[in-house]
Amino acid sequence: MQINANRDTQVIISGAGPVGLLTALILAQNQISCLVLEAHSTLTHDLRAGTFHPPTLEMLDRVGVTQAMLDIGIRVPKWQSCDLDFGLVAEWDLGLLAQDTTYPFRLHLEQHRLTPLLLERLSPYPHVEVLFDHALTSFVQNEEGVTVEAQSPNGAQKFNCQWLVGADGGRSQVRKSADIEFSGYTWPERYSVISTTYDFAELNYRENAYISDPEQWVAVFKMPDVTESGLWRMTLPVSTEVTDDTALAGPYAQHAIHRVTGAAAEVVYPIVHQSIYNVHQRVAAHLRKGRVLLAGDAAHVNNPLGGFGLNSGIHDAFNLADKLSEVLHGQADDSLMDLYHRQRHTVNVEYVQELSVKNKKNLEEKDPELRSQRRRELQEICADPDRARAYLLNSSMINSIKRAEAIQ
């Protein structure tokens, strides 16, 4: 066992995903030293988060990342609520938020394009180190600090720090080692993600559309790609009777696209990527235990409808890192980290969990009467600029930030 006890790191972060790297960047800019431990040998290249909301872009601007994201992402000033039979139900104009945010649009950009930007911005800071191939396996804490054990190609290693941040995803080892309950549930169906170069704009879909259907709803997103027409990503539920192998096979993807386009069966669409995910609604009972803090998916997971998962993880990172910097600079006592828990836990339950479940239920509603009632409701809200703005303040997460700030 190699002991790195002489390293004077104030904060160790487990996980070099977007939340872990961002937490490190904010701490670094606040003159706090940190060490990021990442289990994999490189940054992960997965097609998960792809939608960034206005308050997230405002926050990322503070650390010098937003402009680079705008340069490569796709701005989505309007998004649609649709119905597979009925067609367009409502078109939401984020321009109504022009008074509320500097960025009145959604930005489409995969998270694997964000993490290299974050890593690059960490490199000038001598007080930050990122160690790949280092998987946190356990830790012990006392009143003075935390000792972390990690598995590396050179065997087990120990590192000391004052605070440990678990940003190691939904299966967080930090959360498990801290014995923090992750209460909630897992949906029976899985979600399929299918990417195609077929241009859904040909069917008058905006860059983002949620298409309800009692049998199989679909969410479509245009993502940046080498070609102008972009890469279109579809997310849809896979019922429990369908095996993973079937859902990952070409005919399943073709059928899913045909259901939306209505094209003749012999039309074959180009498929670039297919994957399948389990989907959960869970929130950690505590985001702080002594000198250990949780952020991002380690702290909460939700279905992706509304694009809240990573956005809320980014909001955690700013809240956590700013408060922890104050504590480490001696400007506040450590009870400030309890406020981090109260603010971020509350808004995750009240906004992220509630809205993502509501979005899912609306898209999959089977009762024809409730479906048409919901369509009428959306049309009425959308037609009234005041009500539409109120709706967008919620769906764009602006209200969740205000609610967190109001909690003391």
Ligand X SMILES: Cc1cc2nc3c(=O)[nH]c(=O)nc-3n(C[C@H](O)[C@H](O)[C@H](O)COP(=O)(O)OP(=O)(O)OC[C@H]3O[C@@H](n4cnc5c(N)ncnc54)[C@H](O)[C@@H]3O)c2cc1C
Within 48-187, where are the H helices?
A: 54-62, 66-72, 111-122, 173-177
> Within 84-103, which residues bind ligand X (CB under 6 A)?
none
Long-range CB contacts (within 8 A, 24+) of 251-257: 252/192, 253/192, 253/194, 253/196, 256/192, 256/194, 256/216, 256/218, 257/194, 257/196, 257/198
Site string for ligand X, 288-327 (x = CB under 6 A): --------xx------x--xxxxx-x--------------
Residue 55 as a binder of ligand X (CB under 6 A): the answer is no
Stretch 378-397 residues interacting with ligand X (CB under 6 A): none
Please, what is the minimum distance in Å from the beta carbon of residue 331 to ligand X?
27
In whole angstroms, give the CA distance from residue 64 to residue 10: 23
Q: What is the dihedral of CA 120, 125, 128, 130, to 10 degrees?
A: 20
Half-sphere exposure of 120 (CA within 13 A, CB side): 8
Of the candidate spans 14-22, 73-81, 237-245, 353-361, the one that interacts with ligand X by CB under 6 A turns out to be: 14-22
Task: Please state the closest distance from residue 360 (CB atom) to ligand X, in A.
Answer: 13
List helix spans (H) across 110-249: 111-122, 173-177, 244-247
Q: Does 237 bind ligand X (CB under 6 A)?
A: no
Closer CB to ligand X, residue 159 or residue 191?
A: 191
Stretch that binds ligand X, among 34-42, 78-86, 362-370, 392-400 (CB under 6 A): 34-42
Q: Which residues contact 53 (CB under 8 A, 6 or more apart)?
A: 106, 307, 311, 396, 397
Site string for ligand X, 150-179 (x = CB under 6 A): -----------------xxx---x------
Distances (CA, A) of 109 to 47, 126, 359: 10, 29, 21
135 near ligand X (CB under 6 A): yes
Q: Is 20 in the site for ligand X (CB under 6 A)?
A: yes
| Amino acid at position 384, single letter | D
* Residue 310 Cβ vs ligand X, minimum distance, rounded to whole Å: 3
CB nearer to ligand X: pick between 51 and 80? 51
Tokens standing for residue 401:
């930030």
Q: Cβ atoms within 10 A of the Cβ of 270, count?
A: 9
CB of 368 to ligand X, least distance (A): 29
Residue 40 lies near ligand X (rule: CB under 6 A) = yes
Beta strands in 94-230 (DSSP E): 106-108, 128-131, 135-141, 146-152, 155-166, 182-196, 208-212, 218-223
In the 8-state DSSP scheme, what is residue 353?
Answer: I
Number of residues that bind ligand X (CB under 6 A): 36
Share in percent of the chain as helix, strand, coil (round to 5): 40, 30, 30
The nearer residue to ligand X, 128 or 193, going by C-beta atoms, is: 193
Using CB under 6 A as the binding rule, whether residue 111 contacts ligand X is answered as yes
Q: How far is the CB of 71 from ligand X (least distance, A)?
A: 19
State in angstroms the smallest separation of the CB of 369 from ligand X: 31
Beta carbon of residue 266, minimum distance to ligand X (angstroms, whole number):
30
User: Judged by CB under 6 A, does residue 48 bind ligand X?
Assistant: yes
231 lies in the site for ligand X, by CB under 6 A: no
Considering the complex, what minimum distance in angstroms separates the CB of residue 367 from ligand X? 27
Residue 63: left if φ>0, alpha if ψ -120 to 50, beta else—which one?
alpha
Q: Any contact of residue 230 with ligand X (CB under 6 A)?
A: no
- Among positions 152, 277, 332, 403, the unique one binding ligand X when judged by CB under 6 A: 277
Positions touching ligand X (CB under 6 A) are: 14-20, 37-40, 44, 48-51, 111, 135-136, 167-169, 173, 191, 193, 235, 277, 296-297, 304, 307-311, 313
